[in-house]
Amino acid sequence: MIVTLTPNPSTDRTVVLAGELERGAVLRLTGSSSQAGGKGVNISRACVSAQVPTVAVFPAPAEDAFVTELLAAGIDARPVPGPSPRVNITVTEPDGTTTKLNSPGSASTPALLEALAARLEEVADPAGWVVLAGSLPPGTPAEWYVGLVARLHAAGLRVAVDTSDAPLVALVEGLGATTAPDLMKPNGDELAQFTGGDAEELEADPEAAAKAARTLLDGGVHAVLATLGGNGAVLVTGDGAWHASPPPTTVVSTVGAGDSSLFGYLLGDLRGLDPAHRLALAVAYGSAAAGLPGTTIPRPDQVHPDLVAVRELSPTQEGENV
């Protein structure tokens, strides 16, 4: 089972432009869509498609249309009473370039944060994963994920975290024996946020990305899945480091590709795959998502890990397909 927490969920509205985004111009659309989303919700959608048991936890009124949509999609949604989700807008250009306009969301309260943590403990399965995903709503202490990881570990649960900005920095600064997640999934920008490196250089150089990811292992993290956009992803564990190159992909929208990659890795773990094959499945899911419009989550039949090339970085070996 994969239990997801989306503390700052969103209704994701995507508009597709007929041409390039031009500031101040009147632009024509070729399409638009709206979907209940957020990082954790996207992972739960992937679970349903792959027939993996999942529970999605998030704050929202029980009668909100956001909840109704998820239930209709077959997701076991467990909303904690709170404000309605925010609205995020994604603008997609014909070449796949995406511009995101994210609203901050409604303020949290200590009571709401405690209710979310308690719900996770109530529904999680020690044999599976708990995924803490996305930004924190206004009013939430930046270090909230740090305490939540420790609390979930005390309950015997495995925890994966995918976040950025102040919550990510706080998590890295608070790494320790009980507060280090079992898995973290930064991208190039997020690696740069806590290492002080250059995001573009980290994305372009798998060896540099692996070196940056190893700093998290030094703090107690068991595994780091660093997604590198069109350059695939790097996986670093205590047993070594690997880089996976994606198959040729016509990019339609990168929104949700990182969430799909994280799901692919977790799916590989639940299936008992070795690290290289977990990484291949992660990159295959991310690449498939990038080739789909909006925040569409790929179906298993659209995912092709056999087309992903994986090579070991430490020690370096000649690349090979896995």
Concatenating the DSSP letter of every residue in 176-220 gives -TTTS-SEE--BHHHHHHHH---HHHHHH-HHHHHHHHHHHHHTT
φ/ψ (deg, to 5) at 83: -70, 160
Q: Is 218 exposed, middle or buried (0-12, 13-18, 19+ CB in 10 A)?
A: exposed
Choosing from 64, 259, 274, 306, which is the catalytic residue?
259
Q: Is 298 helix (H, G, I), strand (E, B) or coil?
A: coil
Closest-CA residue to 66 (of 105, 38, 33) = 38
259 is catalytic: yes
Two tokens at 199? 């995001």
58: CB partners within 8 A, 6+ apart: 5, 6, 7, 9, 38, 40, 41, 77, 79, 80, 85, 116
C-alpha 213/C-alpha 188 separation (Å) is: 10
Q: Which helix (H) or strand (E) holds 259?
A: helix 257-270
Q: Return left, alpha or beta for 287; rule: phi > 0 is left, psi -120 to 50 is alpha, else beta.
A: alpha
CA angle 178, 180, 184 (to 5 degrees): 155
The values of phi and psi at residue 128, to 5°, are -115, -145
Closest Cα to residue 261, out of 225, 296, 299, 236?
A: 225
Angle subtended at Cα 165 by Cα 208 and Cα 202, rounded to the nearest 5 degrees = 15
Which residues are marked as active site? 259
